[in-house]
Amino acid sequence: MNQDVLDLARLQFALTAGGHFLFVALTLGLATVVAVLQTRATFSRKPLDARMVRFWGQLYVINYAVGIVTGLVMEFQFGMTWSGLTHEAGNILGASLAVETIVAFFVESTFLGLWIFGWNRLNRWAHLAAIWIVVLTAYVSAYWILVSNGFLNHPVGYGSENGELVLDDPVAVLTNTSALLAFGHIVAGALLTAGFFMAGVSAYHLFRRSPEWEFFGRSLRIGVFLSAPALMVTAVFGGVQFAVLDAFQPMKSAVFSGKTAEIARVQAELTERFGPGDYVPSEAWTRGGALVMLICFALMMYLCFAGMILAAFRKVVFRFRLWHLVLMAGVPLPYLAMISGWVFRESGRQPWVVYGLLKTEDAVSDLSPGTMRLSLTVFTTVFVLLAVLNAWLLTRHARRGPVDAGLGRDERPTAGEGGNGDGTTGEGGTPDAADTLPAPRY
């Protein structure tokens, strides 16, 4: 295997997987928040609750729409760049990836479409059911992806036929401890990301003394009170994963701890089991990823606990501008923590792509360095453009606030019923309740 091809292939996968996950984290968390907000709005029938659903739902839809494009690249990468993986372990990974594709691109997308275009058309209970189905299928999709990733990190439930891995125990694969712990960690981390995002956007408007003070005051509190428990759950699942690391991947644990003697012992043990080779992953990436993740956790912990106290005081929520600046600056922290956590998880298992069964160098397709450079250039360019587009759209809509949100606007012609036919009034010529709300001054 040409070392340049291997390095370029790993870099390409790291960039595209990391870029895609930036979208997934906010999508998964914000979808849950929007579903809870809509549940409240469905029961309360209050205009403020409806407007919150539409505003945060619009941001969710933007992030989902751009993120779904980045997810398509992941499917192509397995066949194009990692043919050795699909050849050796495709009998196990193929089923979970296929189910994830069906759930994400058919079920989830279908019901999301019903939710987006079902405003003012579906019964309010059917419309509420649509968003909850979207949320549940998003969780199911994440679970199936982590079933595949869990097998790569801790292979279980497999057999071997003619030198290829085959599925021997489906229940063991589906209940893989590595997958279940990662699933809990990711779901809680996604809620944490959504909480920091909501708090940061709301703090921006409160800092600017927005007339929508009640709207963003409530949104800020939701973000803060969501972030603290989400952070604790994320830490619990992360701590349990650290506790089982010695059993699953002793070399990663030794490298993270910086124990030279333990690294040498595990290296000798792996050499005896699998033959000569370097079984020590990059210490810089492995330890660096873990340390960055832990530093971000510490910073978020201080912000969350201080925020819980500050958010209990109404005047502080609306007038403490220094806190608003801190909340805005804290929005990137969950993203940085989750990406560095993935770097630790994935780089720490090297040189294995399937731990103990298939080396990374044996999983890479037989491509020329020129082909890999072209592929890396194209994919990286596309991902950068999509990330910039997503950031611009989110920033643009977030700065506008809950004014004239496209999502949920009643566009049915109502001229014959006393309206003006442009969709600005509801049935009977009355204003759309979700478009009007008094904006008292401070």
In this structure, which long-range contacts are made by residues 274-281, counting pairs with CB atoms below 8 Å and at least 24 apart in sequence? 274/356, 277/351, 277/359, 278/351, 279/251, 279/351, 280/251, 280/255, 281/251, 281/252, 281/255, 281/347, 281/348, 281/349, 281/350, 281/351
pLDDT of 405 reads 59
For residue 134, what pLDDT is reported?
95
Q: What is the largest CA-CA distance in the chain?
A: 84
Spell out the residues 6+ positions from residue 100 whose beta carbon is closer than 8 angstroms to its own. Answer: 141, 144, 145, 148
- Cα gap 80→202, rounded to integer Å: 43
Evaluate whether 104 touches 71 at the Cβ level (below 8 Å): yes
Bridge partners of 359, per DSSP, are 352
What is the Cα–Cα distance from 142 to 179, expressed in whole angstroms? 10
Rounded distance, CA 89 to CA 151, Å?
10
Q: Are 200 and 328 contacting, i.e. CB atoms less than 8 angstroms apart?
A: yes
pLDDT at 411: 63
What is the value of pTM for the model shown? 0.89
Average pLDDT per 10 consecutive residues for the chain, totaling 442 residues: 82 85 91 96 89 93 88 75 86 86 84 90 91 94 92 91 86 94 95 96 93 92 96 95 89 91 93 91 91 95 94 92 95 94 90 91 88 88 88 91 70 46 41 40 27
